[in-house]
């Protein structure tokens, strides 16, 4: 497809900054030109045109920590501490989920994500061969990194699932789907298995990364205050300092690691994250809802750590709304630090776009509007009372924009939502399937 998007304000998140009355050209899946509307329209007279006058054109949002299938648990178990929430509610429910259930839950999250302007998600869940999250994202047209979550209690099952996931899905769906290796957390993956999973990641990269992109490592880290104690209790491991320092002692940290949460960090932990170039996925809404605490994001940024943004699951958030996360992030750290200059609007918007791409080792292709990058684009309608008048588009995107303001979504050069209408799947049918799956899951729980 050959498209010219013209007349809008292009927020590139790249070297060109903000271009008013700008235009961009897409050929196939790639951005081939950017400039002023008058010049671009003259150069490409026969291309399909999208008039973006009165609108913002920007890179799609990147959600770097999700459990997409958990939309099926939205509102199921609220207002519990993390351990009780997981052990007494979430895990018993999940044990009764089939591959089809996981696929439907992920499809529901994909629909919600697209309609909210998210074009890429990084999801960690249980992979099954028949139906799975990768299948759902590909069907909806969303870009994603799909991981299989690994636990010490099912090592053989994990090894088979990882091989199948990566062989069948890494680099597939026109390059929009990548795979990752996902040790759940330091307290559910023993030290030797953690090291084995690191070695497995290197081996899988040697076999499958060429042409498909890097296979990254995705884990939960330093989410709760008692995590070091949980590691000691579970495995008898020596955790003298923080859990990041403990993970470093295992030799598993590196630039391809994205660590979700990173709430309870020592000074040494922050030094290690910076030294090893580990990327952090900040999930402020989930952390607040589960009373896990507040990540020291300003300290991480000062240390040079790449910080991206995530919603976490629709069960612990309870939505996939990245615009909500952007605003929460900007306000939260100003408030708790009593400093209104912390995390300016542009810094937070970068966390949701180009820094998100960097966290997923995908920044050469997505995260900003630049010539040669993939066309993952969203168009936001400014003709709303809450978005007028306009002094700064960056400010509006951080503090005022809502997911419902997203009008058009393009992923890999393909229009997957136009004028709020999905073009890949029917949202009403997906919601109906999710309700039916929920009822069957509740029946299985009652039968236990």
Give the model confidence (pLDDT) of 230-282 as tens digits.
999 999 999 988 999 999 999 999 999 999 999 999 999 999 999 999 999 99
- Read off the pLDDT band of 119 (50, 70, 90): very high
- Report the mean per-residue pLDDT for the chain: 97
- Read off the pLDDT band of 77 (50, 70, 90): confident
Position 448 pLDDT exceeds 80? no
Position 47 pLDDT exceeds 90? yes
Nearest residue to 329 (alpha-carbon basis) of 319, 343, 315: 343
| Residue 80, strand partner residues | none
Position 91 pLDDT exceeds 90? no
Q: Give the dihedral sign, CA 223/225/229/234.
A: negative
Position 151 pLDDT exceeds 70? yes
267-295 burial code (b ≥16 CB/10 A, e <16): eebbbbbeebebbbbbbbbbbebbebebb
The predicted-structure confidence for 360-414, as pLDDT tens digits, reads as follows 999 999 999 999 999 999 999 999 999 999 999 999 999 999 999 999 999 999 9
pLDDT given for residue 446 in this prediction: 83
Mean pLDDT on 209-238 = 96
The predicted-structure confidence for 32-46, as pLDDT tens digits, reads as follows 999 999 999 999 999
pLDDT given for residue 69 in this prediction: 97
Q: Which domains does the chain have, with CATH numbers?
A: 2-59+373-422 (2.30.40.10), 61-359 (3.20.20.140)
pLDDT given for residue 82 in this prediction: 80
Position 104 pLDDT exceeds 70? yes
Count, residues in the chain: 448
Structure tokens at 222: 């330093």
Laid out side by side, the sheet with 307-309 consists of 61-66, 118-125, 143-150, 177-183, 216-221, 257-261, 279-282, 307-309
Residue 143's H or E segment, with its range, is strand 143-150
Mean pLDDT on 76-98 = 88
Structure tokens at 411: 């992923």
* DSSP state string for 346-394: HHHHHHTTHHHHHHTT-TTTSSS--TTSB--EEEEE--SGGG-S-S-HH
Q: Give the dihedral sign, CA 26/119/160/193.
A: positive
Percent of the chain topping pLDDT 90: 94
pLDDT given for residue 223 in this prediction: 97
């Amino acid at each position: 497809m050959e498209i010219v998007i013209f007349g809008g304000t292009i927020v590139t998140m790249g070297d060109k900054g903000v271009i008013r009355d700008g235009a961009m050209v897409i050929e196939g899946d790639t951005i081939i030109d950017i400039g002023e509307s008058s010049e671009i329209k003259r150069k490409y007279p026969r291309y399909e045109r999208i008039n973006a006058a009165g609108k913002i054109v920007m890179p799609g949002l990147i959600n770097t920590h999700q459990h997409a299938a958990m939309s099926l648990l939205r509102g199921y178990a609220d207002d519990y501490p993390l351990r009780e929430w997981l052990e007494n509610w979430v895990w018993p429910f999940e044990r009764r989920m089939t591959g089809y259930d996981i696929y439907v839950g992920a499809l529901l999250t994909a629909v919600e994500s697209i309609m909210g302007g998210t074009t890429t998600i990084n999801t960690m869940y249980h992979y099954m061969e028949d139906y799975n999250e990768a299948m759902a994202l590909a069907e909806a047209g969303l870009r994603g990194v799909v991981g299989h979550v690994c636990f010490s209690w099912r090592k053989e099952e994990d090894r088979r699932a990882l091989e199948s996931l990566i062989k069948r899905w890494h680099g597939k769906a026109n390059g929009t789907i990548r795979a990752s290796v996902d040790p759940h957390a330091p307290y559910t993956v023993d030290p030797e298995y953690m090291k084995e999973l690191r070695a497995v990641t290197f081996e899988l990269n040697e076999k499958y990364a060429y042409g498909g992109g890097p296979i990254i490592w995705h884990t939960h880290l330093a989410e709760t205050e008692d995590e070091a104690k949980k590691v000691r209790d579970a495995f008898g491991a020596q955790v003298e300092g923080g859990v990041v320092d403990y993970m470093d002692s295992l030799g598993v940290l590196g630039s391809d690691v994205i660590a979700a949460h990173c709430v309870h960090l020592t000074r040494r932990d922050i030094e290690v994250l910076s030294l090893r170039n580990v990327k952090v996925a900040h999930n402020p809404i989930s952390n607040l809802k589960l009373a896990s605490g507040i990540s020291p994001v300003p300290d991480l940024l000062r240390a040079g750590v790449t910080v991206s943004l995530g919603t976490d699951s629709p069960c612990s958030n309870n939505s996939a709304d990245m615009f909500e996360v952007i605003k929460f992030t900007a306000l939260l750290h100003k408030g708790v630090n009593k400093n209104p200059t912390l995390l300016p609007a542009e810094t937070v918007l970068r966390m949701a776009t180009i820094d998100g791409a960097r966290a997923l080792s995908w920044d050469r292709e997505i995260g900003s509007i630049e010539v040669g990058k993939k066309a993952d684009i969203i168009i936001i309608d400014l003709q709303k009372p809450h978005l007028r008048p306009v002094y700064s588009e960056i400010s509006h995107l951080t503090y005022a924009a809502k997911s419902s303001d997203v009008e058009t979504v393009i992923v890999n050069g393909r229009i997957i939502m136009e004028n709020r209408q999905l073009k890949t799947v029917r949202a009403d049918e997906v919601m109906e399937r999710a309700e039916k799956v929920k009822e069957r899951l509740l029946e299985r729980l009652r039968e236990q």
